[in-house]
Structure 1
Amino acid sequence: MLNLCRFSRAIGLIILSLLHCAPVAAAKLKLDWPCQRTVISRSATTMPPYSFFNAQQELTGYRIEFMQQIFGRLGCKLEILTDSPWKRSLMLLESGDIDVLMNASKSAEREVYALFSNAYEQERVALYVKAGQQQLHSTIRSLQDIAARGLNVGVIRGNYYGEQFATIQKQRDLSKHVIEAIDKPALYFLLLKDRVQLYLDYYPNGVLALRDENLDKKIVLHPMPPLVIGQVHFMFSRQSVSPAFVRRFDQELLRMQQDGSVLKLQQKYQLLP
């Protein structure tokens, strides 16, 4: 007669043996200096002149070339994933699935999971309205004025628009007037269909994007001057990148600023206001 206890133990030993022998996925190697693996980033593909596909269907643009140049100078291979929304990209960076994002604002919330390079550009936001409605909303002189008048304002989900706007978003009676879009085309739709009366976007890239989408006659800048909300940085995942690598990155970033490489890229893509 079969001894069930002995049989069960035998089966258990076989299962444990199989588990022990099964291949285990290797943990992602933490990026250190010098580069010992490919750097993984992410970019949109529909934001000319920052990132877009050219006639040869090659991903290019100011931010693409910037990343290619600086990581090339560091001796690193670079892989750029495409078209996950910005908020999703932040989640991927937080988990360490991607290593770096460009054009990121520094905030206390992000510093929990990210390391930041030195700043390389000022960040500004501006208001945009339908053409012909500039004077209709000309009394708006601040972001607080928008909320006080009960106007709906569009934003892209996950984007940072400065401390003043972040405060507005936290106030329940005002936050209901903030309408989130997943990307720029959705933002344009909200405005042109009168779901929002204004929207916030960065400057000057918001203007350049409208020009490239042939919408610059339908959507225009609001008279309120663009607001400086801080500086932008490269943002690195604490999960997948070492602080030593970021320090070495900053050295190369400074060299690119000093030798005119950044200015040449800005001129090539007509980014200077």
Structure 2
Amino acid sequence: MVPRFVFQLSHILLLCIFIFPALGAPSEAVSPVCVNPLRVGYNDWPPYAWQDPQGEAQGLDVELLRAFAEHLGCEVTFINVPAKRSHQMLKSGSLDMMMGATKTAEREEYALFSAAYRDETVRLFVLDENKDKIRLTQWQDIFSQKLRLLVPISGWYGVDYEQTRQRLEQEHLLILSPDADKSVQMLTYGRADVIIGDAMAMPYIASQHQGVRLSPLKPVLDRNQIHLMLSKQTLSLSQLKQFNAAIKALRANGKIARIVYKWQQISLAQQTKTSHQFNSLSAQYADLLTFN
């Protein structure tokens, strides 16, 4: 016969097992996604990212990252830094994250890449007033028509450009510039015939910074998927998984699409405004010629 206190003791032990199942077993608690505010590097690349006069980060990628961070309950500190330096800072862990990145084998050595959160298209452009003078339907037309090509020194512009860059240099058709803003400026000065760049950023920069309108040419040189880059020094695979889950969730509920569409409309509105200003000035100039 088993004493009564033994039954009572065994009942207590069973209750402990059911009520406190974690005791004596490994913890499965999920750690916070972001213990500290994320340090996110960005450089001026409108409409994706730039620093406004008040020192605040603005733009499409900035708004998307804020949405991802909010979904995960993370705080973000944006740090404006030149593109090349930002990669060095990501390597060392001085930055936790970068936006608007194309995945490459070289970058994967020091960064984790999120799932793609938007696309990027690379095209050729001419000044709007030259759109009927320059008819380029394929990449090889640059050589057959001897068109001078302006290319910002940093960036990926597609396989056609990479494979023929040496030929462009040999035939004196390649003109490099420090950045997209300078490229547009040089184009307006007649330093080249055609400019290469991001399908949304290049017209936006031309209209907002230089007050000119660009027209796209027919060839689409490249389409890339764009990712977040996470520093391997400061962020983990677990945190990468959480950001991928946020990207998936915001794509599913339409928030990514709404933000992208908003900035597409802002870009178009800026270009339309520039076009109206240009047409107004042209009309005034024509009136002066008629009067004289």
Which of 200, 204, 211 does residue 208 from structure 1 map onto? 204
AA partner of residue 243 (structure 1): L
Unaligned runs of 5+ in 2: 1-30, 269-292
Instruction: Give yes or no for contact 1:147–1:174 (8 Å, CA) kept in 2.
Output: no
Partner SS, residue 65 of structure 1 = helix
TM-score by length of 1: 0.74
Q: C-alpha offsets along residues 152-192 of structure 1, whole Å, 9 cap, x if unaligned?
A: 32222221112332222355855964333222221112212
Residue identity over aligned pairs, in percent, reads 25
Q: CA RMSD in A?
A: 2.8
Deviation at 1:150, TM superposition (A): 4.5
Q: C-alpha offsets along residues 130-168 of structure 1, whole Å, 9 cap, x if unaligned?
A: 233223331x32334325655332222221112332222
The question of 1:230 aligning with 2:224 is answered yes
Once residues 249 and 238 of structure 2 are traced to their aligned partners in structure 1, the CA distance between those partners, rounded to angstroms, is: 17
Once residues 35 and 263 of structure 2 are traced to their aligned partners in structure 1, the CA distance between those partners, rounded to angstroms, is: 32
Alignment of structure 1 residues 127-142 onto 2, 5 Å:
127-138=124-135, 140-142=136-138
Aligned CA distance change for structure 1 residues 180 and 169 (closer, same or farther; 3 Å):
same
Q: C-alpha offsets along residues 46-73 of structure 1, whole Å, 9 cap, x if unaligned?
A: 62x4334557653322221211121122
Instruction: Give yes or no for contact 2:151–2:197 (8 Å, CA) kept in 1.
Output: yes
The question of 1:269 aligning with 2:263 is answered yes
Counterpart of 1:66?
A: 64
Counterpart of 2:74?
A: 76
Q: C-alpha offsets along residues 86-127 of structure 1, whole Å, 9 cap, x if unaligned?
A: 233233323332222211111223223322111122210111
Higher relative contact order (CA 8 A, sep 6+): 1
Which of 97, 103, 107 does residue 94 from structure 2 map onto? 97
Partner SS, residue 218 of structure 2 = coil
Aligned CA distance change for structure 1 residues 269 and 247 (closer, same or farther; 3 Å):
same
The question of 1:187 aligning with 2:177 is answered no
AA partner of residue 42 (structure 1): G
Instruction: Give yes or no for contact 1:106–1:116 (8 Å, CA) kept in 2.
Output: yes
Partner SS, residue 143 of structure 1 = coil
AA partner of residue 146 (structure 1): I
More off after superposition, 254-263 vs 224-233? 224-233
TM-score by length of 2: 0.70
Aligned CA distance change for structure 1 residues 194 and 120 (closer, same or farther; 3 Å):
same
Counterpart of 1:6?
A: none
Which of 110, 114, 137 does residue 111 from structure 2 map onto? 114
Deviation at 1:258, TM superposition (A): 0.6
Counterpart of 1:37?
A: 36
Which of 85, 88, 110 does residue 88 from structure 1 map onto? 85
Count of aligned residue pairs for this structure pair:
237
Once residues 264 and 229 of structure 1 are traced to their aligned partners in structure 2, the CA distance between those partners, rounded to angstroms, is: 21
Instruction: Give yes or no for contact 1:156–1:181 (8 Å, CA) kept in 2.
Output: yes
Once residues 174 and 112 of structure 1 are traced to their aligned partners in structure 2, the CA distance between those partners, rounded to angstroms, is: 33
Once residues 88 and 168 of structure 2 are traced to their aligned partners in structure 1, the CA distance between those partners, rounded to angstroms, is: 25
Aligned CA distance change for structure 1 residues 144 and 99 (closer, same or farther; 3 Å):
farther
Alignment of structure 1 residues 235-246 onto 2, 5 Å:
235-246=229-240
Instruction: Give yes or no for contact 2:113–2:227 (8 Å, CA) kept in 1.
Output: yes
Once residues 89 and 144 of structure 1 are traced to their aligned partners in structure 2, the CA distance between those partners, rounded to angstroms, is: 35
Instruction: Give yes or no for contact 1:100–1:234 (8 Å, CA) kept in 2.
Output: yes
Once residues 108 and 179 of structure 1 are traced to their aligned partners in structure 2, the CA distance between those partners, rounded to angstroms, is: 27
Aligned CA distance change for structure 1 residues 91 and 197 (closer, same or farther; 3 Å):
farther
